Structure formats: structure tokens, C-alpha cells
Amino acid sequence: GQQVMQIPQYQHVQEGEDFTTYCNSSTTLSNIQWYKQRPGGHPVFLIQLVKSGEVKKQKRLTFQFGEAKKNSSLHITATQTTDVGTYFCAGMNYGGSQGNLIFGKGTKLSVKP
């Protein structure tokens, strides 16, 4: 079946350093979504990418969708302690059914002040 692989599983950074998490799908996706889960909390939607090669920015966060629509990345510039949490990508297969939204296992980010 379809898999969405996310790396790294863990990332420890010093405050002010950059951070990147990568997401790769075994199949072409119709779109990809990114979520953030704070410790003890629930996943919260960040953004959705739909177009091939799309790049979107939210303040210090930059999201990219690959040209082949099989990979994506989230880059955080100059991390802050408020960025701590687990970041998940979720790939949507064509057809758009709820059952076709596959989550990666997440990247857990810790930031040392």
C-alpha cells in the first residue's frame, strides 16, 4: 500500500538554528498537508500544498511540494522555543477519499534555549 515516509524522526537544535523535515511518498499525491502537534496536544493544521513545485511561506516556515508531487519539505528558519513539537505531513491520494489521507510518522523537534 501507499506509504508516506518522514525524516528525520527526531531533531534537536539550538535556538536560532534552522530545521528541516522531509516527507516522501511512494505514489504521486493530489495534495499534501502539514500539521503541528505540541507536546500533550492534538495535531493542528498548518498548510496544504496542491500544485507541483508549490512553495508557501508562513513567517519563518517555508513549505515546498516537489515537482513530481511525491515529496515535500518544511523548513523553519531561526527556530524558537515555541516551535517545539511534532510536525506531521499527510499525503492525499487522488480520489480524495478520507481513507486516502496517509500521515507520516512525524518529526519531533526539540529546541534548546
Provide the binding-site residues for other proteins, judged by CB under 8 A. 6, 9, 31, 33, 35, 41-45, 48, 88, 90, 92, 96-101, 103-106
**CA gap 51, 64 in Å, rounded:** 10
Question: Residue 15's closest CA among 83, 61, 79?
Answer: 79
| Min separation Cβ 61 and other proteins, Å | 17
| Min separation Cβ 109 and other proteins, Å | 15
C-beta separation of 99 from 3 below 8 A: no
Rounded to the nearest 5°, which phi and psi values hold at 111? Answer: -125, 120
| Min separation Cβ 16 and other proteins, Å | 28
Residue 14 or 97: the one with the smaller Cβ distance to other proteins is 97
Residue 16 or 41: the one with the smaller Cβ distance to other proteins is 41
C-beta separation of 85 from 38 below 8 A: yes
